[in-house]
Structure 1
Amino acid sequence: MNKLKLALVATMVSMAAYGGLGMASASAQEVKTVPSVDLKRYAGKWYEIAKIPNSFQKKCISSTSAEYSARDDGMIDVVNRCKTADGMDEAKGVARVVPGSNNSKLEVRFAPAWLSWVPMVWGDYWIMDLDDQYTLATVGSPSREYLWILSRTPTISDEQYENALNNATKQGFDTARVVKSKP
């Protein structure tokens, strides 16, 4: 392969990896997580305040929450709930800690356990921001495709919301896509 073809291939690979030239600078910087998370304190119920819309929550119209509980095997049980037009919906899953992340990076699976060996059934759940009281968290993915603002209460102040959005913007997330969730 000559040098021109090699350079062209390298450019195309770079563009694909970074989602196009416009996103190269934001994507080149890895999403940063908090230094560490005490999973015992993080466990419990969290209310969704806002999110970047995604396909797996499209039926949710309000009252979206997630509940986390530690298991004896080191994994975390996850129960997501929301109100839909037909009543309440519930999805049960499991999360595992990414080794070396001090519990700030998790992988979550809602697929059946027998599929747990398939890498694509695990979704990234990176805790990017967490207040000292463990009452407000911003969670995202390294692809910047997913983002949630979570709280221990169904509502937060406008100032808290703006701070969470600003922190996500600084991490390269397209916060213009974020929508507030209905309590």
Structure 2
Amino acid sequence: MKTLRALLRTLLIVAGLSGLAACSVAPPEGVVPVTGFEADRYLGRWYEIARLDHSFERGMTDVHATYRRLENGGIEVVNRGYDPARQAWKEAVGHALFLGDPGTASLKVSFFGPFYGGYHVVELDRDAYRWALVAGPSRDYLWILARERSIDDDVRDRLTARAKALGFDTAALIWVDQRQSAEPAQ
């Protein structure tokens, strides 16, 4: 876990310094976060169904995030995943703040200090909050999340088509194995 935190800290410092130069936690051009967003309905556990590859989750399976409201109005973010190479669970804890109106699903997330990355829900199951398509501050970051460990093929196809229409490289999506059953209690 210390290795993951050290790696994340280094990556976020580099990303943060780059971000300061670019001043961007905003979504990529042409990517619009959903409005009418209800943060309290979004809280709880979300399983990572697919992602674009990036170093801080590389090789991990059974990745999920848990969101919890903080007293200051922000949101605690607990990301967990299983590293099969090390046969160990890894965890990173951070916090998120809305970039503006909490009714717009556009947040900045930090796992270390003052360095933030963008988190933008760009497609959402508005009826039951069962699935979401989330973009980062560039087209290098994309996640498909769901309340269950898998999604129906029609939802998968819809979200993949939407991501492609927004300019993301959907051929590069990694479909996350969600079969690990021996997760320790949080």
TM-score (norm 1): 0.77
Q: 1:142 deviation in Å?
A: 3.8
State whether residues 77 and 95 of structure 2, in contact with CA within 8 Å, keep that contact through their aligned partners in structure 1: yes
In structure 1, what is the Cα distance between the partners aligned to 2:59 and 2:49? 16
Q: 1:152 aligned to 2:151?
A: no
In structure 2, what is the Cα distance between the partners aligned to 1:69 and 1:101? 15
State whether residues 128 and 137 of structure 1, in contact with CA within 8 Å, keep that contact through their aligned partners in structure 2: yes
Q: 1:130 deviation in Å?
A: 0.5
The residue number in structure 2 matching 1:126 is 120
The residue number in structure 2 matching 1:49 is 49
SS at match of 1:162: helix
AA matched with 1:162: D
State whether residues 117 and 137 of structure 2, in contact with CA within 8 Å, keep that contact through their aligned partners in structure 1: no
When the two structures are aligned, how many residues end up with a matched partner?
149
In structure 1, what is the Cα distance between the partners aligned to 2:131 and 2:146? 4
* Structure (1 or 2) with the larger CA radius of gyration: 1
AA matched with 2:53: P
In structure 1, what is the Cα distance between the partners aligned to 2:119 and 2:42? 13
Q: Percent identity?
A: 35
Q: 1:36 deviation in Å?
A: 2.7
Q: 1:83 aligned to 2:107?
A: no
Partner deviation per Cα, 1:108-129 (whole Å, 9 max, x = no partner): 1011xxx32xxxx201000000
Q: Counterparts in 2 of 1:1-183, with a 5 A limit?
A: 29-60=29-60, 62-85=61-84, 86=86, 87-100=88-101, 102-111=103-112, 115-116=113-114, 121-132=115-126, 133-183=128-178
In structure 2, what is the Cα distance between the partners aligned to 1:105 and 1:174? 21
In structure 2, what is the Cα distance between the partners aligned to 1:71 and 1:142? 23
In structure 2, what is the Cα distance between the partners aligned to 1:175 and 1:59? 18
In the alignment, structure 1 segments of 5+ residues that lack a partner are 1-16, 18-26
SS at match of 2:56: helix
State whether residues 32 and 171 of structure 1, in contact with CA within 8 Å, keep that contact through their aligned partners in structure 2: no
In structure 1, what is the Cα distance between the partners aligned to 2:104 and 2:76? 15
TM-score (norm 2): 0.76
Q: 1:59 deviation in Å?
A: 4.3
